Structure 1
Amino acid sequence: MTFYSISITIKFDIYQNINCEDFMEINKEVMLLMLLKALADESRMALLRLLNEGERTVGDLAIQVNLGEPTVSHHLTRMRKVGLVTLRMAGNQRFYRVNQSGLALFKQLAAEIEHIQPIPEASVSDDGWINAMGWDEADLQILREYTHDGKLTNLPPKQKKMQVVLRWLATMFENDRLYSEKEINTILKTIYAEDYISLRRDLVDMGYLRRERNGGTYWLGAVPEEKNNS
């Protein structure tokens, strides 16, 4: 069975040729780079040319390129991992040959090099909204550390940093407005859906939000107490 891993190298079953369709699951730029690295050696190029003429043993190849068998085996293993050659065992003998499917794929990728899309870069958080808040730089840095594009990525373990996050969350609510618990939850879910209930409780415990005793109505901490009775 043919299989592959794209973590660092691609390993193929030693008894079968590569199915070129497998490569379509891999970023083309990554695959081409791996193939080029495998061929970036004069000895490997010489070995590939010899194998293109027909199947050979490691011993035969070692004589042809004037290298030791362990060195030749190392070069062949590098090329086999990216699908350029295949291995057939016959008793104690190891026979190598060019994998025409892998070689055809290399030619195809090389021919399309100007059209291959680059590896997507990790998205960069737009923290312009953080700078616009006008807070102390230390507090702004905490927001940069725990947010991405206006959403919380995780909760700070230290209370001092959590205070900054709660202070920021309080800006999501309007003065002189009453909120139901459902409305509070809806707003906080857009910021941190993983644990919006804990955020709501922390906002109340730290005084950023006030609520009725029965918990049905909430308002911003700056709103006077008598607002609750209106």
Structure 2
Amino acid sequence: MSLEAARAADVLAALSSPIRLSALAELTRRGREGATIAELAYALDASVPQTGDACARLVALGLATGSGNGVYRARPEGLRDAAAAVDNLQPISPLLTEYPQLRGYFAHGRLSSMPPTLSERYTQLGQLLARFLDLDGLYTEDEINKRLAEVTDDVAGVRRMMVDTGWLERDRAGSTYGAGRPVPAAVDGSPRTA
């Protein structure tokens, strides 16, 4: 596990505590004004020691800042950093960096929408997914489905799109799949399109 992933795990574990999550939410709500431990304790209906401990933990994780005058403020970019670390662990992420034009179709390493059918990006998505599958022989439909399920909930739709765009080929019975055409390698960090 990378250092970023371990840090993201720490952030998520820390926010599983209701008092810490409530403290972060209240600090976020207060914005730049922030709050003292006493103000937070009152707003959260919690004890000052509990609230102080929650704030200290949030500061240690980079989710809040504390000033010399005792005012704490939320630091939401700490959550964005943790989310980015989790996103980077997704299996499609290394390839997606080479297809910046397709980023909008993915959310947290999963395909969330498809480009229009006749667009160039539709074909580029097929190419990206063909590179992700990295087929070197024949596979059953279940094997293809299992691999596609790593990046999409609409396995059947994506599989069909890959067949339609020629990146995936199936036999007449529809039970065996293989690479439809050679997948071009990235050149200078940007994909070649067919």
Q: What is the TM-score when the length of structure 1 is the normalising length?
A: 0.46
Residues 23 and 54, structure 2, Cα contact 8 Å, conserved in 1: no
After superposition, the CA RMSD in angstroms is 3.9
| Residue matched to 2:96 | 130
Q: Secondary structure at the match of 2:150?
A: helix
| Residue matched to 1:201 | 160
Residues 166 and 203, structure 1, Cα contact 8 Å, conserved in 2: yes
Which one has the largest radius of gyration?
1
CA distance in 2, matches of 1:200, 1:33: 42
1:161 paired residue among 95, 110, 121:
121
CA distance in 2, matches of 1:209, 1:184: 10
CA distance in 2, matches of 1:150, 1:185: 17
Q: Secondary structure at the match of 1:191?
A: coil
Amino acid at match of 1:121: L
Amino acid at match of 1:30: A
Q: What is the TM-score when the length of structure 2 is the normalising length?
A: 0.53
2:25 paired residue among 30, 53, 56:
30
State yes or no: 1:189 paired with 2:149: yes
| Residue matched to 1:142 | 101
| Residue matched to 2:139 | 179
**What's the offset of the Cα at 1:106?**
7.2
State yes or no: 1:115 paired with 2:73: no
Structure 1 residues not aligned, in runs of 5+? 1-22, 41-78, 86-100, 134-139, 224-230
Amino acid at match of 1:115: A
After superposition, the C-alpha distances for 1:141-200 in whole angstroms (9 at most, x for unaligned) are 2232223554323222453322211111111344550111111111111110x2110111
After superposition, the C-alpha distances for 1:99-132 in whole angstroms (9 at most, x for unaligned) are xx95xx474467447514126513124355434x
| Residue matched to 2:174 | 215
Residues 138 and 176, structure 2, Cα contact 8 Å, conserved in 1: yes
Residues 127 and 167, structure 2, Cα contact 8 Å, conserved in 1: yes
CA distance in 1, matches of 2:100, 2:120: 13
Amino acid at match of 2:96: I
Structure 2 residues not aligned, in runs of 5+? 1-17, 64-75, 183-194
| Residue matched to 2:111 | 152
Amino acid at match of 1:185: N
| Residue matched to 1:6 | none
Residues 20 and 55, structure 2, Cα contact 8 Å, conserved in 1: no
Residues 28 and 183 from structure 1, CA distance in 2 versus in 1: closer, same or farther, beyond 3 angstroms?
Answer: same
Residues 206 and 180 from structure 1, CA distance in 2 versus in 1: closer, same or farther, beyond 3 angstroms?
Answer: same
CA distance in 1, matches of 2:168, 2:41: 62
Residues 110 and 141 from structure 1, CA distance in 2 versus in 1: closer, same or farther, beyond 3 angstroms?
Answer: same
Residues 170 and 177, structure 2, Cα contact 8 Å, conserved in 1: yes
